[in-house]
Chain A
Amino acid sequence: MAQVLLRVPSLARRGEVIEIRTLIQHPMETGFRPGADGTVQPRDIIRRFTCLYDNRPVFEAALHPAVAANPYLTFTIRADQSGVLAFTWEGDNGFRQTETRAITVT
């Protein structure tokens, strides 16, 4: 399991626009870079990141090799109800990881 850093406010006022910051540990091997033995290293990147807010897609990003290692992404959502945010990273070699955070909206 790759290590994940998530910054999600646990409390928000209804209608408040909150910023979410995500980071996941991943080499994001570009597929263009020669390794120590001189051969080009096969591509191994995260292709897709999604955020579901109570199973409703609220953010989606397609990543390419130009995204730095340990992809860091920030985005915003409007807090409209208490619920669960699910963050999923999917990539090459069957990589898939999901993390969830609860948010309370008052």
Chain B
Amino acid sequence: MSSPISPRSPIELPRRAALGGLLAVALLPAPARATPDGMAAAIARFTGGATPEPGGITLDIPPLVENGNAVPVTLAVESPMTEADHVRAIALFNERNPLPQVLEARLGPWSGAARIGARIRLATSQRLVAVAALSNGRFVMTEQQVVVTLAACIEG
């Protein structure tokens, strides 16, 4: 497609300058960012290498988030929370924030229920994974895709 503006047009220079500016921005070192691999590594550190089984834990978060600066999230596991059968820990991970971890909580039979809530930051639309460690040594997980329209101001 040919531009209606001739190459000698005075508009050309600012446009070139703008292009150069864009290039300069693109060449800046990218900020640290969690990746699906980074999240998998963080989950493996939490589980000690064990692969969590899907199901048995609920991750409650709005699927469409308007403001990524404070997103309410609830993590819950159906468990009798007895000495013999309880949830030891619950952790939340993300795929595309600068760091894959969000929070880890330690629970026990004294918790009465395995249910925690928090408000978190989301840098962009991404997948969240919740993992719970059970007293029998097993790990369960669930994942949730979240769309964020206004990202948390992580990159300024």
Please report A residues at the B interface, Cβ cutoff 8 Å.
17-19, 21, 30, 32-34, 53, 56-69, 71-78, 80
Contact = CB atoms under 8 A, between A and B. Distances in A.
Contacts, number: 105
Contact of B118 (A30, A73, A78): A73
B120 A67 contact: yes
B43 to A, nearest CB: 14
Given A61-B103, A75-B105, A76-B113, A33 B97 contact: no
The DSSP consensus for interface residues of chain A is strand
Interface of B: 31-32, 69-71, 74, 81, 94, 97-99, 101-113, 115-122, 152-156
- Among A68, A72, A80, max chain B CB count under 10 A is at A68
B102 A66 contact: yes
Q: Which 9 A-B pairs have the closest CB atoms?
A: A17-B112, A78-B112, A74-B117, A68-B70, A34-B156, A68-B119, A60-B106, A66-B102, A64-B101
